[in-house]
Amino acid sequence: MQPIFEPGSTIGVLGGGQLGAMFTEAARCMGYQAVVWDPDPNAPAHRVADQSLSTPFTDHETRERFVEMVQAITLEWENIPTDLCEWLEQRRPLRPSGAILRVLQDRLEQKQFLSSLSLPVAEFAEVQSGQQLHHAVNRLGFPLICKTARNGYDGKGQWLFRQPSDVTQFEQILATISSGARWIAEQYIPFVRELSVLVVRSASGETRVYPVVENRHEQGVLRVSLVPAPISSLDAETARELSVGAVVALQGVGVFCVELFQIQDGRLYINEIAPRPHNSGHYTLDACTVSQFEQQVRVTCGLPLGEVRLLSAAAMVNLLGDEIAAVTSGQGCREIFSTPGASVHLYGKRVIRPGRKMGHVTFTASDAEIAVASAQHFMSLFHNPPSAGPVPYR
Ligand code: ATP
Ligand code: MG
């Protein structure tokens, strides 16, 4: 049984992006102190932390200091080095564990794990060479998506092949890459809808499952999330059961987001699992009794889990790159702050880059259609798709 760390205790946070900042705010609101460790001195969570560390994660002196400063540890990003996690968890409870990260950090291992449990995922293959790429194309057919096995986010490091000629450019890249780089080739799932489900699981195995969310992406980046998802209650129950099943199979302790594809006949596929709060769960800050970040505090500290009740329908819109101007300048600023049910969240990032998540706005309303209409009206102010990331996308 995990001990309870009561308010007044200090929590360590690995990673200081917007998820770490929103976690830190929730922790401080509940009476905890937070030590944020992120090598980037400009990471948003440093601004709200009680204490912050900005040395590299490989710095052994810092890990000694960090562990002395905190009673329990959590993380905001799945790519924290697992050897650091394993060292830390021998000394303090770490939620989620380094073992979970080992499985989820690598898209191939994650998919192998899920398919070994007969959980529904796209057909996939490992690609490290031109020859393996050809085998994958022969076996999986077109369209096909190739993703870097590690370190992708917001659709970066992904290639979509619709026909044989699309493969040629990628073959040239394969010929020049350093040894050891791996890709996963996945069959393209012709989804009618993308969904996600937040699952919270405690050390004693208790679970809480949030309502199903529908997510719409643009160029691989989340554009808008709607809750409750416009699907039947039977489909919603199936999505929730599938998601809980995956987190239980992982023996996960923490907050998890299961991303799903739904196809025309209603069947669901798991796309991926994030072992942390998720962009598609930001609506919980404004529309639920207990937010995903408060749940993360509760799990990390061994407190009872909170209720996941939806208080109103919501539509969350991401502010990408210079779209932030739609809420920070002139008429847009006056309009958004006078819109009933609109909650503005800005992350305090200093540098604006195309497609970078700068903040979000959640529109709550008594009815999903009203929330969506408000979100659509707001998006019409800035609607121009973000430009692609450093690696060509599609
Ligand atoms: P994020 O950080 O937003 O979670 P990511 O970089 O981890 O993104 P994925 O979630 O795997 O990458 O893919 C991003 C988007 O690309 C998905 O939300 C979906 O729209 C599309 N996509 C990915 N894999 C597939 C697939 N096999 N079939 C169809 N669409 C896919
Ligand atoms: Mg994803």
Cα(27) to centroid(ligand 1), Å: 30
Cα(393) to centroid(ligand 2), Å: 14
pLDDT digits (tens, 9 = 90+) for 35-44: 999 999 999 9
Q: Is the pLDDT of residue 344 over 80?
A: yes
What ligand is nearest to the CA atom of residue 269?
1
Q: Which residues surround ligand 2, an ion (CB under 5 A)?
A: 259
Distances (CA, A) of 98 to 5, 25, 82, 138, 163: 20, 24, 5, 36, 39
- 162, 217, 224, 271, best to mutate for ligand 1 pocket (most atoms within 8 Å of CB): 271
Ligand 1 atom at shortest distance from the alpha carbon of 107 = 11
DSSP string, 26-92: HHHHTT-EEEEE-S-TT-GGGGT-SEEE-S-TT-HHHHHHHHHH-SEEEES-TTS-HHHHHHHHTTS
Report the chain's terminal Cα–Cα distance, integer Å: 47
> What is the residue-averaged pLDDT of the chain?
93
Cα(150) to centroid(ligand 2), Å: 13
Q: Is the pLDDT of residue 393 over 70?
A: no
In CATH, the number for domain 123-187 is 3.30.1490.20
Question: What does the alpha-carbon distance between residue 170 and residue 127 come to, in Å, rounded to a whole number?
Answer: 11
- Write the residue with the smallest CA distance to atom 12 of ligand 1: 155
Question: What does the alpha-carbon distance between residue 126 and residue 35 come to, in Å, rounded to a whole number?
Answer: 39
pLDDT digits (tens, 9 = 90+) for 216-233: 999 889 999 999 999 999
Q: Is the pLDDT of residue 367 over 50?
A: yes
User: Where in the chain are the domains?
Assistant: 10-95, 123-187, 191-379
Cα(161) to centroid(ligand 1), Å: 14
Angle between helices 60-69 and 82-89 (to 10 degrees): 40
pLDDT digits (tens, 9 = 90+) for 7-30: 999 999 999 999 999 999 999 999
- The confidence score (pLDDT) of residue 307 equals 97
Closest CA to 54 of 11, 15, 86: 15
Cα(193) to centroid(ligand 1), Å: 12
Lining residues, ligand 1, CB within 6 Å: 122, 145, 147, 152-156, 186, 188-189, 194, 217, 220, 222, 259, 271-272
pLDDT digits (tens, 9 = 90+) for 57-99: 999 999 999 999 999 999 999 999 999 999 999 999 999 999 9
Ligand 1 atom at shortest distance from the alpha carbon of 122 = 27
Closest CA to 180 of 128, 104, 126, 131: 128
In CATH, the number for domain 10-95 is 3.40.50.20
Residue 88 sits at φ, ψ, to 5 deg, of -65, -40
The CATH architecture assigned to 191-379 reads 2-Layer Sandwich (3.30)
Strands (E), the chain: 10-14, 33-37, 51-53, 72-75, 94-95, 124-127, 144-148, 158-161, 183-187, 191-201, 207-209, 213-218, 221-227, 254-263, 268-274, 313-320, 342-346, 357-365
Cα(155) to centroid(ligand 1), Å: 6
